[in-house]
Structure formats: structure tokens, C-alpha cells
């Protein structure tokens, strides 16, 4: 049970955090140039977005939860975590960011999730 809870926290807080950062950036609006002053302005505006701070806090929570999990379980723990986070990310993008995830994008996301799973398995 604790195992499952920790697992859920890592996937949901990690993906949720990235979705919140993404939402903050969409509110900031498109960065139009890579001039350092423009980049600094975009970053500063992002830091003024509440979603940015919610996102960063969630990502930090996921990071420390993962460190904790890796001290208890072995590396095979990260396999389902990384694979599921790609799928959760695409679902979250549809619901929370109103992105249109087409069939082709789903195919790509599932291939990436499968590939990442094999890479993690191949490392451990």
C-alpha cells in the first residue's frame, strides 16, 4: 500500500508539476526572440505566475519522493514510473491544457514510453 502511494505521488506530482509549469508558460505567451533581455523578461513573467510555483513545488516533491523510493526499493522501481509519466503527461495535456492529442501523437507517445522502458531496463 505504501509502495503504491509513493508510486502515485511520484507520477502524479512529477507530471502534474510539469503540466502546471506548462500552463504558466502558456499564460505568459510566446517568447518572440532569444535576445537575453527578452528571455529574462519571459522568465521573470513566468516567476510571477502562481502556476509556476505550484508546478515547481510539485516537481520538487516528486524529486524527493523518488530519492526516498530509490533508497527503499531498487532501480526497477523507476521503470513503471518513467513509462507511466509519458502517458499521464499526454492525458494531462488533453484535460488540463486543452491540447489536441491526435491518434498519431498517441502512437508516438506510446513508442517513446516503450523505448524509455527498454532503456531503463537495459541500464539496470
Partner 1 sequence: MEAPEEARQPHHVLKPKTFLMIVVMVVCGPLGNTFLGKGMKQIGSVGVWPVSHLISSLSRILTTPSIWMGIGSLIVFFIADMLVLSWADYSFVRPASALGYGMVALLGYSMLGERVSPLRWTGIAIICLGVFVVSRTTPRTHTWETMERE
Encoded one letter per residue, x for contact with partner 1 by CB under 8 A and - for no contact, window 64-103 reads ----------------------x--xx-xxx--xxxxxx-
Kindly state whether residue 28 participates in binding partner 1, applying the rule CB under 8 A: yes
Kindly state whether residue 2 participates in binding partner 1, applying the rule CB under 8 A: no
Looking at the Cβ atoms of 77 and 82, the one nearer to partner 1 is 82
Question: Mind giving me the DSSP string for 32-71?
Answer: ----HHHHHHHHHHHHT-HHHHHHHHHHHHHHHHHHHHHH
Count of CA atoms in the C-beta half-sphere (13 A) of 23: 22
Say if residues 117 and 83 touch (Cβ distance below 8 Å).
yes
Q: Least Å distance between CB 1 and partner 1?
A: 29
Total binding residues toward partner 1, as defined by CB under 8 A: 48
Amino acid at each position: 500500500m505504501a509502495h503504491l502511494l509513493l508510486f502515485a505521488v511520484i507520477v502524479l506530482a512529477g507530471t502534474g508539476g510539469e503540466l502546471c509549469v506548462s500552463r504558466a508558460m502558456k499564460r505568459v505567451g510566446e517568447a518572440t526572440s532569444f535576445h537575453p533581455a527578452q528571455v529574462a523578461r519571459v522568465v521573470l513573467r513566468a516567476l510571477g505566475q502562481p502556476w509556476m510555483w505550484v508546478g515547481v513545488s510539485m516537481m520538487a516533491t516528486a524529486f524527493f519522493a523518488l530519492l526516498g523510493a530509490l533508497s527503499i526499493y531498487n532501480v526497477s522501481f523507476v521503470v513503471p514510473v518513467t513509462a507511466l509519466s509519458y502517458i499521464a503527461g499526454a492525458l494531462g495535456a488533453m484535460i488540463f491544457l486543452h491540447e489536441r492529442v491526435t491518434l498519431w501523437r498517441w502512437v508516438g507517445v506510446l513508442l517513446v514510453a516503450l523505448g524509455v522502458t527498454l532503456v531503463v531496463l537495459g541500464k539496470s
